[in-house]
Structure 1
């Protein structure tokens, strides 16, 4: 299954749509076909984008600080997401 190869906090790149080639962090999974993603800027933590997993390019990188906060039900800020993507050199 597609959803078995993706985990919370994983870095993904959009392969299709208006957000093509932009990087996001997986905030949740919605069924077996969809992931909830955000970048902290265009797609905020408060309203993550629901996107089909087949339209995402899954990277080996995981935002461990974000993953830990998701798993412990701590509040995640948009700044946390942006800092994770910045530290990997994926956004300016």
Structure 2
């Protein structure tokens, strides 16, 4: 089964396993069909994204198109921007 088809850059995910269990992240990039790089701008910053198995993530239906656009067009983003994008999700979950 190819699990990358249901995950995309800029997608909101929640960790289901590990030390970061229960935290909300954004998918920064897709490594292969089983791993993605995730960031939250706080614990996992843009310069040190966490490589995480997709099966250890709860994938939400929310994709942040502005993040994907900025990454695709090499527009500089910072950790504060990531935290700002995730703010509403951290309140809801």
2-structure distance, mates of 1:20, 1:89 = 15
Aligned partner of 2:4 in structure 1 is: 3
2-structure distance, mates of 1:65, 1:45 = 16
Q: Does residue 1:71 correspond to 2:59, yes or no?
A: no
Unaligned runs of at least 5 residues, structure 2: none
The answer to which of 15-24 and 63-72 deviates more is 63-72
Structure 1, residues 64-83: CA drift from partner, whole Å, max 9, x if none? 22111111111111011101
Aligned partner of 1:49 in structure 2 is: 50
Normalising to structure 1: TM-score of the pair?
0.92
Aligned partner of 2:24 in structure 1 is: 23
Preserved contact between residue 35 and residue 53 of structure 1 (Cα < 8 Å): yes
Preserved contact between residue 66 and residue 80 of structure 1 (Cα < 8 Å): no
Unaligned runs of at least 5 residues, structure 1: none
Number of residue pairs matched by the alignment: 90
- Divergent runs of 4+, >6 A: none
1-structure distance, mates of 2:4, 2:89 = 26
Q: RMSD value over aligned CA atoms?
A: 1.0
Normalising to structure 2: TM-score of the pair?
0.91
